[in-house]
Chain A
Amino acid sequence: MAAIAVPCNLVFGLAAAWAVAKFSFPGKSILVSLIDLPFAVSPAIAGLIYVLVFGARGWLGPVLETYNIKIIFAVPGIVLATIFVTFPFVARELIPLMQAQGTEEEEAALSLGANGWQIFWRVTLPNVRWGLLYGIILCNARAMGEFGAVSVVSGHIRGLTNTIPLHVEILYNEYDFVAAFAMASLLALLALATLVIKSLVELRMRLVEHRSTQGSAAV
């Protein structure tokens, strides 16, 4: 699930952060609120909204049925729920970073004749790469552990639409404690690995920051 949801949010988050930090346009504050929405809304409600929209008796249910597309109680539903819940991480990480860096380097690139695409790939993206990586890690951690929204849309079909946290719950409810704790340990190990990577990236980010503040102090 995380393998699909994280790249999606990488693209969405980067695009949203770029739009918010580097441009001003009508409706910007609405976009910022929308980015924060998943933090405010309970994941279970997010899941229910998906059921309402895509479920068999939902708004798009009959349409989807005629084309034989399954979203709720299938993998697409879980991916969609995960994308919604983890959406803010990348964007939230990047917006302050991009705002702090301002638009001077982009303008310099523009005055040197670069086009929009070149500016993005050669100037904007390299400048936020560590922040981006950090956002991806947080996003990935949340995607692996998400329970509420996924629980509502997945239908708990073992081996098909089950994620690790859901499987832990099923095993626990069946009094299969050994298996439940084994799965939980696996999830905990994954979380620990993520934490280690996160700390390494943080260390690296601080080094980069230290370097650039030291540099500007010399001006």
Chain B
Amino acid sequence: MKIEAKNLVRTFQRYAALNGVSVTAEDGELLALLGPSGSGKTTLLRLIAGLDYPDSGSILFDDQDATRLRIQKRRVGFVFQHYALFRHMTVFQNIAFGLDVMPRRMRPPKTRMREKVGELLRLVQLPGYENRFPHQLSGGQRQRVALVRALAINPRILLLDEPFGALDAKVRKELRGWSNSCSRS
């Protein structure tokens, strides 16, 4: 899906986090935002995800205005900087959360959910981790759980906020290679 941001402005108190930012990402494109901390990368991602709204400017998904669209309708996967895994839930419950909160008529049956979570965990090389809690995982493992949790709802866009920030160089390299191959497929 094509994402287009036009002249986005977002001000916090008097500080302008974004001041007339325009970006376009083509369908299937893998786009990285680079910049020093405090330059507004997170703010831009939050506006695209629908966690926050711009003061002015517009966001288009496939040429349709999505600026004021509610986050639940955007079908955007968001991986947070600190993962934001639900700490009181197991890995399975974390990944299945997005499916579990669907309206009853759209919700897949339990067996299908179990299959899907198993599939996703194999994809990120964490098979059999369903019953672990987030605090029992390493940083890199948490990251991958956060990633497949966002993928479980079949998002149209996947947004990653500082996806490799909190990881050591070795794990970072592994994951970068993996996410490249993932976006190509």
Contact = CB atoms under 8 A, between A and B. Distances in A.
Contact of B51 (A111, A114, A214): A111
Nearest to B93: A122
A105 B87 contact: yes
Interface in B132-149: 134-139, 142, 149
B153 interface: yes
Interface in A106-131: 107-115, 118, 122-123, 126-127
Nearest to A112: B98
B87 A113 contact: no
A127 B87 contact: yes
Contact of B77 (A105, A109, A111, A122): A111
Contacts of B139: 218-219
Size class of the B contact interface (CB-based, 8 Å): 20 to 34
Contact of A108 (B50, B78, B102): B78
Given A104-B80, A219-B166, A113 B86 contact: no
Nearest to B142: A219
A57 interface: no
Nearest to B146: A108
A111 B71 contact: yes
Contact of A112 (B82, B101, B142): B101
Nearest to A212: B135
A212 B148 CA distance: 22
Interface in B114-154: 134-139, 142, 149-150, 152-153
Contacts of A107: 51, 78, 80, 84
Contact of A105 (B49, B86, B152): B86
B170 interface: no
Interface string B64-101: 00000001100011101010111110000000011001
Given A107-B80, A110-B72, A111-B51, A215 B86 contact: no
Given A107-B80, A108-B84, A215-B87, 5 more contacts: A108-B78, A110-B51, A110-B71, A111-B78, A127-B88
